[in-house]
Structures are given as C-alpha cells and as structure tokens.
Amino acid sequence: MKHTALFAFLLFASSVMFGQDDLYPHPELAWRTIETAHFFIHFHNGSERTAREIATIAEEVYKPITELYQHEPDQKVSFVIRDHDDYSNGAAYFYDNKIEIWAPALDFELRGTHPWLRDVVTHEFTHIVQIQTTMKLGRRFPAIYLQWLGYEAERRTDVLYGYPNAIVSYPLSAFVVPSWFAEGVAQFNHPDFAFDYWDSHRDMILRMYMLDGNPLTWDEMAIFGKTSLGNESSYNAGFSIVQYLAESYGVDKLKELSRSLASPPRVTVDGAIAAVLGKSGFELYDEWKKAKVEQYQKVAAAITSSRSEGELIEKEGFGNFYPAFSPDGKKIAYVSNKGEDYFSLSSLYLYDLEQKSSKQLDVAARSTLSYSPDGRYLYYSRINRDNPHWSRLSDIYRYDTKEESEERLTYGLRAWNPNLSLDGTKLVFAIGKDGTANVGVADAQGKNRRSVTTFSNGEQVFTPVWSPDGTVVAFGYSTGYNQSVALINEDGSGLRVVVRGGDARNPSFSHDGRFLYYVSDETGVFNVYQTELESGVKRQLTNVLGGAFLPRVNQEGSLVYASYTSTGYKLSYIEQPKPADPAASLVAGRGEINLLEGRDETSPSPESSVEHPDSVARAFLSSSKPYRNVFTSLSIIPLLRLDNYNPRNKGVDNIRPGFYFSSGDMLDKLTLFGGAAVNRRLERDLFFILEYRDAVPLLYQLGLEPVVSFELYNISRKSDVSFSTFTDREHTLSTDVTYNLLEFDVTMRQKVFHEHMQLKTAYTFSSYSADIGSFLIPSVGVSPGFRNTYLIGNTLSAHLQHESIRPTVDKDINPVGRTVSLKYSYEFDKFNAEGEYNIENGVLVPQYSKPSFHRVEFYWNEHVTLPIPKHTLSLSIRRNSILRKQVDDFFDFYAGGFVGMRGYPFYALGGNDIALVGTTYRFPIWTKINTRFLQFYFTKLYGSFFADIGEAWRGEMPSIKRWKTDAGFELRLEAFSFYQYPTRLFFSGAYGFDRFTKTFNNVDVSYGREWRFYLGVLFGFELNQMGKMSSHSSRSRI
C-alpha cells in the first residue's frame, strides 16, 4: 500500500496556509535581538540602525493603536528586519504576532514619499491589532478545514481502493476582513498620526478613476489578485473610504466594525456595516463615491480651461516610465510593461519620433535610462539573484543597441537608477544599505566607485543626474515626508536644496545647463516645471488633470514625460513646450500637507528623522543580544474529512476528524508542520515535517545552503478479506487486515544554476506491512494474528525541477510558460512479494528478495500563447522508466486517472515503463464575472479541451498503434473565499477511446469506451506536479 499520492493531495490542499519563499535561507547572516517593553526587534548584521529606529517607533505607536481598538497583543510582537534584498515591503503575520520589514525605503510609482520606517511600522502594527480584534476563534485557530476525498470504483482485486477522482479542501476562515478595509485601516492607522497620509499620488489615482467613471466596484476592491495597478487601487480606495468613515461617522466606528466582524456567523463585511452604521455596504459605497465625484469635478473644471498635456505617444500598458532622448533627439528610450500585468515585468522600448512607432528590446529593466554620447549604449539597472546567497540585488548594466547584447557592469553593488555624463566618462547612481540611500559615482565601466554623499540616518536620494559639464549632481532628496530637488558638487561639497515645498522630484538639466526641469505637486497635481538656475525664474510647462512625471528634454527643447491617466502611466510628448496657466489648488490631497506645518522635513540634515523621545528609550536601545529562537504560538487548524475510500464502510466510518498544526521560530530557521486524522475504526493519517533553514556544517563551507527537511508519515487502512485454504476440503475463510505504511524522509533542496531551478535530494525509508487478524481453520483450530512486513524500502533520489511560469493575473487558471522535472531514484529494498516464510528454530522468518533498481521520471509542460488574446495551447510529455530490468508490478508506474490520462482509471495503465503525450487548448469563457455570493467572490471562468495518447508496459515498448487515446474537457472557475483564500473549482470529463481487458489474480477487468468525471475544490488548479511525487501504487500485499 503506497499512500504518498494521498499525502501529496492533502499537503497541496493545505499549502496556502503554510507556504513560504523558503529556498533563500541566508545562513550567512548573524542575528541579534533588541528587547523593549512590548517588542522583540530581530535584525542581522548591517541593519542595526534600522532596528534601533524601529524599536523606538514601535514603542511610540503601541499605546495609541492599542487604545484605539481596545486590544493588546497577548505576547510581545516580534519585528524581523531584513536588508539582504533590494526590496521594500512590510508583512504582518497577525496569527503569529510577527512583523517582517525590509529596510530599503519604498520608492513606488503609485505612492508618494513618506518616512518609510514610521509609515511601515505603524501600518503593520495596526494590521496586528485591528485584525486580531476581528478574529472569531482567537489567535491559535486560523480556520477549520472541510475536506472530501472521493475515489474511483476500483475493479482490480489486488488494489485496496481506487485513486481519488474528487478532492475538496475548503477552509472556513476564522477572520473575515476585505482587502479595502484591512489596508485602508492600516494606512489611516490613527487620527493623530501623519506617517501615512492622503498624498498627491493617491489623490491622482482616485481622481482619474472617478472622473473617467471606472473606479473599482464595491466587490472588486474587497480582494487582491489583480494587476499592479488594480491591487494598488484596492489599497487606495480603502484608504479613502476609511477616511470617509472616520470623518462622517466617527473614528470609533472602525473599532466597532472590527469587533462586529468577529461575530461567528459573519461571512462578509456587509453585515457588520449594517449592524454598526444601519445601512448596507453598497449604500456606504455610493455615498463615498458621490462625494468624491463632486469633489473631483470641481478640480477638473478648474484645470480643463487651461489644460496643457501634449500628445500621447505611448498608450499601451499601465507602466510607461523613465523616457530618455537619444543624442540626436530622434528616438526615445523608455521602460514599459505593455502586454504584462505587473510593473516588475517591464522591458526596454525604443520609440521613433519620425516613424511614430516603437519596438521592444530584449532587456528586462525598470529604472532610469541613459544614453552613451554616440547613442550605441543604454545604461540602466535591474535586480537579479546572481550572487552567492541568492539575494535580490540591484546592479548596473548597459545594452549595446548595435550588437543587441547586454553587459553587466557591477556585481552586488546595490546601485540603481544610473545616469551617464554627457561626455560618457562617468556614472552617477543611487546606492543604499541599512535603510539609507546615498549618491554614488563610478567610471563608465562601473569601476572606481565612491560615494558623493555620506548620509547615515535614513536619508533617501532619488533619480540622480549629471549637469552637462559633469561637475554637479541633481537628485531628489528626502529625510521623511515628500521629496525636494537638491544639488551637490561631484566632490561632495555644496549640498543645497534648490526646490522645496510640497513634493518636488525627478530633476533633469537642459543640454546647455541653463535650466533645471522637475515635477512638483504644488498645485495639488503633479506638473512639469522649468527653473532658470541663474535667475531662479520658474515656469510651469504642463497643466494636466492626472499627473506628469520624469521629464526629459532634447537639445531642441522638446519635452517627453510620463503622464498618468485612469488606465495608468502613458508617455506624452510636447515639441515646443510653452508656459502653462496653472490651475487653482483645489485638490483635497494638497491640504493634507498641512499636517506637517512647522516641520521642515525636506531640508538637508545630518540628523535622523526619528528622535528618541526620552532617556527610557535610549536605555532600552543601548544594547542587543545574540538571537535566541523565539517561536510562534502553535497554530491549530481543525479538520473534518469525509473519506469514503471503502464503499463497505458505514457512514460514520467515512468521517475522519483531525487537525493540522504549525509553528516556527521568528526567522523561519526552524519550522514544523504536521497533522492527524483518525476515524472510528482507528484508521489514521499522521504526518510530521520539520524544516531547517540555516547553515549545515560542511555543506555551508562548500558554498551550499540547502533547506533540510525531516518528514515522517504513518497511514493505516483496514479491510475485510476472504481467501481459500484446503484441509479436509477447500474452505473460504475471512478475517480483518490492517495495512500500514511507515515512511521517513530526509530531504535537502536548494536553488541551482538559476532562481527558477531547484534540486532536491532525498533519502526515504519505508515499511509496508499488513496486520492479519486471527481466523478459524476448520479441523485445525484458530490461527493467531500476525504481522506481514512485505516491503522494507530504501530510496536515494535526486530531483531537478525548472519552473518558469510567466507571472500574470491568469497564472493559476491559464498558465503560460514551462515546467520541467527530471527525477532519478535508486531503490534497494527487501521485498516479500508472496508472503513466504520459513520456520527457523521454531520461528516464522519472512523470505525477502532484495530487488535493487534505477528509476527515471521525466515531465515537460509547455504552455504557449495563441494569436487570440488569453487563448493558450499546452503540450505535456511524461516518460517514466525502470531502467534495464523488469521488477515486480508492485513498483509499477501508472498513467491514468486524475493526474494522467483521465479517460481511464488510474490503475488501468500500469507498467515498469510509461509514456504519455497530451495537448490542451484553453480559452476564456467569462473573464470578468466579478460577482459575490455569500463569502464567495467569483472572478473568471475558463474552459479547455484536451487529448492524450499514452501507454504503460513491461518489457518491449508496444507499437504506437497500440497506445491508448482519450479526449475530454475541463471547466475552471476562479474564486476567492472570505476575501483572502483563493478558491479554485474545476470539473473535467474524459472519454477513453480504446477498449481493452487485463487479467489480475485470474480476474478479467475491462477498461475504456466510457466517460469518467473528476472534481476539485482547492487552492490551485494544477495537479500534475503532485503526480510526480508518487511513483508507487496504493496496492496491497498480504
């Protein structure tokens, strides 16, 4: 009896609860801890400044946030500070009292500049407090799982039970918070704080949505799973609605709504809104929308009469940035994500002003662009993991437009947004560590690097550029709120702010050095401005309704810039810009800056933007200690499984209650995950997985940093069996049998060659046994029960997997890209195939054979796009083989069922060798369902037709003419439950075209020429990866 496949199903079904990016463990880091009154601050070498600032901020915000919601965490909250990646984010694990913060400051095209650490600490701690007030079952019980496993009606007498043809794993969430409310509350955080505020970027996004009549609907803003712009719009709309709630109904309503969501029957936010506000969610949404439309129509009326926006030259995509004129002024290089769903997938493009057309370069980048003087090279930066510890680090590259090749100039420099001097001899760029950014310079080859600035207290620099003579650098500068435009001499002297007030950013020089161009939101809307450096005379060059950013001019004075519309950032071009008539400052977001009145947050200062409030703060920040494992509380997830594998079981025996559990230390160095389920007959499913993500002695010294896993499985199934025996005559006897599997695995997995490739090595020990009950033999007497251990298995394996599925919003339901898997195994077993025993010294001794053999398993899935949008064609190849010799059919591969040829049962196609080729045509049926029913939110529906040809055999491969064929259909419905859980429903049917008969234990069994159906409700659609995990059958031996 081999049950690895069953566990593969159940672990897959639960993976959303416990999955993490665990293949970058970073054992090279040394961790320490600062302990305060309410927090642990865990940080690694190189991030101490950030950690100390976070400790201060966390204690400052603790009391106001906990008093607002009248809730305090039941233990100290752990902050984990990370600075091993050039990545900005924060994450709150509200069931674990854990917050992760990445030290680099956020510089995002859809957000303004805020004091990063104050912003993110307050935001994530608000998540911890507010979401904990909404929990229905407390912090230790995140959900309850309902599961159902249905099975094929097995026809073979040598198989204990059929393979699953229906699998459902559905969580009943113990917290119900829509995305807009969770993120809106976290951005609002507290009425007395201004760390995050309604800035001009946010106002721009919402303004354009409202004026163009295409804001997110009430249900759309409740979930993520959208494009970069769509997800940010959920944040944005949530912030605005929460502000509206607080202003119109009172701040206390945020707490009341949160506590109302904790009511056990509550499955949506609408009931809480009705209970607290006395109106429906749709009514609240309509109120808010009406108020915003009226506000923005006034703004539009003031701007429209003097609108000056130029010509849109790039309308595709929602992320067009960083335009740069070629030296001759005839072409514009820029970054665009057109054709993609996320900013991170941007590429370089060239726009020909004469031909009015663009072409894509074979370069993935998202940074400023800079031409060499001869126009041959383009300089830029991008992030990759090509470094010893797989960190995401930004480096400088250049692209040869003549040879169409890329050259990497720096390695692990953590430098971004480069700019090349007009004479082509030197680069300037931003460079950062420990939450602080500085201006750096190097020669054109990226060598001879040095810092121009020496900031060390969280200051930030943005988009630095050279003056035409190469003696001065202009850059965006911030010590907290907003940006100012600053200048500094190449030698680091003469730092001065030349444009301050509001948010001024994206500086660039005219070719003669006379003018400085930049953008500012001084009217409440970002526009392009020109300042004459000598006289200080300022002119506004655009007057847009959305926003203007990243201006560049050529030698003739023509202007190109990124222009924001309701469908994202486009590129606009003005051949000869003239001074615009500025509109009145009517945008409400502008007034929020008054929160900073009296604070000069944009002036250069060597001091940190965070001050220690008192001597007590200084005292608890005075020392840190080496990190000692701090573990999360044990999370317990009850489950109720209906598992009707045995049709002879009574109804109650099919019910298998149990639970999952998980915990781990705060750094994820050590995690555990396990589960247990037992029915009335004491049939059990038990597993325990312990993972270790730190340095492994000897391996670490060899440059290897694997994740090590120790796994234990124990499964039992019971059955009543009948068999014949002869004494005085032939008798048919019956007894009960309990089949057991005990398996232990030690695995190591690590990225190799590329971030998309993983190598997993493993040793597996397994023991298969059958406990035979006692039975009465006529004329002989009672035969006592005994255990028949029929397989003691040992397997060494190496599994290489490549996965490069293109990130899209349809990645789950309609993947594009490639997965390849190659697994080699060597098995050396002790196998008692027929239950043979000898009597030695009066003791029954099993007679084992010792089979040893090599296995190879190969899978290839290729998903390609078709000319029709969102239509794809997939090709799948599977080839499994036991090399060179035949072994007992107990070790066969199987090619049918849920994870193979669905036109035939799983055990219909078995052999020491299998080969299968399949193709699938997938197409959209309904791409914008966007409908909610109770806790379900349905997003899209796809259909597919598939066909397969394959065979399983022993010995010589049969002629392809004898291979089996099938065809079928599948429906995939993408949904979300309780706002947070992905819910993927799929139903398929397949017809096997070939009728054939096989004999098992002298019984003929026929297959084919029948429809077979399959059902799944899981967190994902793709099950073929699980098929790779099981190489043996679920057969039994007595």
Instruction: Say which residue the tokens 């096997």 belong to.
Output: 992
Question: Any idea which fold 311-582 has?
Answer: Neuraminidase (2.120.10)
- The percentage of the chain sitting over the pLDDT mark of 70, rounded to a whole number, equals 92
Mean predicted confidence (pLDDT) in 530-542: 94
**What does the block give as tokens for 792?**
């003691």
Instruction: Say which residue the tokens 């009154």 belong to.
Output: 37
Q: Is-contact 576 554, C-beta < 8 A?
A: no
Half-sphere exposure of 37 (CA within 13 A, CB side): 13
* Structure confidence at residue 776 (pLDDT): 76
Read off the pLDDT of residues 687-720 as tens digits, 9 standing for 90 and up. Answer: 999 999 999 999 999 999 999 999 999 999 988 7
- The enclosing H or E element of 260 equals helix 252-261
pTM to 2 decimals? 0.93
**Least confident residue range of 18-27, 88-97, 428-437, 1020-1029:** 1020-1029
Mean predicted confidence (pLDDT) in 770-795: 83
Read off the pLDDT of residues 177-226 as tens digits, 9 standing for 90 and up. Answer: 999 999 999 999 999 998 889 999 999 999 999 999 999 999 999 999 99
Average pLDDT, the chain: 90
Dist. CA 256–CA 243, nearest whole Å: 15
Dist. CA 436–CA 600, nearest whole Å: 19
Confidence band of 607 (pLDDT split at 50, 70, 90): very low
Dist. CA 141–CA 639, nearest whole Å: 11
Q: Give the number of other CB atoms < 10 A from CB of residue 554.
A: 21
Q: Which residue has the higher pLDDT, 556 or 837?
A: 556
Dist. CA 260–CA 195, nearest whole Å: 28
Dist. CA 238–CA 225, nearest whole Å: 16
Instruction: Say which residue the tokens 């953590």 belong to.
Output: 414
Provide the β-strand partners of residue 333: 324, 350
Mean predicted confidence (pLDDT) in 1015-1025: 84
* Structure confidence at residue 119 (pLDDT): 96
Distances (CA, A) of 831 to 208, 749, 849: 71, 29, 5
Distances (CA, A) of 288 to 277, 520, 589: 14, 28, 16
Q: Is-contact 889 953, C-beta < 8 A?
A: no
Burial label for 596, CB within 10 Å (0-12, 13-18, 19+), is middle
- The percentage of the chain sitting over the pLDDT mark of 90, rounded to a whole number, equals 80
- The answer, yes or no, to whether residue 751 has pLDDT greater than 90, is yes
Read off the pLDDT of residues 653-678 as tens digits, 9 standing for 90 and up. Answer: 899 999 999 999 999 999 999 999 99
Distances (CA, A) of 384 to 35, 319, 392, 847: 34, 20, 5, 56
- The enclosing H or E element of 254 equals helix 252-261
* Structure confidence at residue 622 (pLDDT): 56
What residues contact 641, with CB distance under 8 A and at least 6 apart?
145, 147, 148, 149, 655, 656, 657, 658, 677
**Least confident residue range of 569-583, 876-890, 925-939:** 569-583
> Looking at 775-851, which runs of residues are DSSP E strands?
775-777, 781-783, 786-805, 817-828, 830-831, 837-840, 843-846
* Structure confidence at residue 17 (pLDDT): 47
Dist. CA 669–CA 646, nearest whole Å: 41
Distances (CA, A) of 205 to 108, 112, 113, 256, 571: 13, 12, 15, 29, 16
Mean predicted confidence (pLDDT) in 1014-1023: 91
Confidence band of 615 (pLDDT split at 50, 70, 90): very low
* Structure confidence at residue 1024 (pLDDT): 59
Q: Is-contact 916 894, C-beta < 8 A?
A: no
Residue-range domain boundaries for the chain: 311-582, 810-1033
Read off the pLDDT of residues 416-463 as tens digits, 9 standing for 90 and up. Answer: 999 999 999 999 999 999 999 999 999 999 999 999 999 999 999 999
- The answer, yes or no, to whether residue 581 has pLDDT greater than 80, is no
